Structure 1
């Protein structure tokens, strides 16, 4: 009878230690996953879609519709004629392929954690501007800005050496 009493406290102690260790492992895993998630890069899908559409329209030769996706200021061209001239000077249109593949962000980027901080602070969560890299035959950089109407507008574009 005495041996049964001695083994019960030991088994309770082992179970308690095991429970504490398991709890710490789970909490550590959750903290690591949270840290990883908050520091992941966020790129607004609407910005990528707008830039992809812009490049597809240029490849198709539909400059008027592509121009409607721009900021229509000095960088892309204040008029459709200036825009077409800039496209022919900056983009190797004949070298563009029919498929446009997003490769990443050029320059700085925003994290999910930064979006949460902005949201909690009552500020606009999307960045004001982004430089996006695409593969469309040659590498293409497309810079987009967030407009007051909530759409992404193309402000600059060019093909460049890879």
Structure 2
């Protein structure tokens, strides 16, 4: 199987649809002492578990747009994913690290994230770490502030 063959992949997309991006930007993070239910901007109910991390975009210069956020601004990530994809800066501030693969989402498709199911809205991006099962949805207006193309 290879990209040229157009083999189906996650959520019915073709392998060739995925592009590599370098993660950028900062977040404020706190470890969850208890479960946290939250809603995406689109209204999907997701859940972080005790031991996971609650994140919020941190923009010292206020030029970055919010990324993949709940209606109130916080979202969750598992402890393993957090440790693999963020580096400590100072205090409760962490930097996004590494690369991901992403593609434009198809409005109405359902993505099974580690926190629950998310229905893609027009303009959203579907993002994944190919080496793990982690996949998530980022609102289009925030994707540019959290990723840079490596192509």
TM, length-normalised to structure 2: 0.31
Higher helix share: 1
- Greater relative CO (CA pairs within 8 A, separation 6+): 2
Higher strand share: 2
* Bigger Rg over Cα: 1
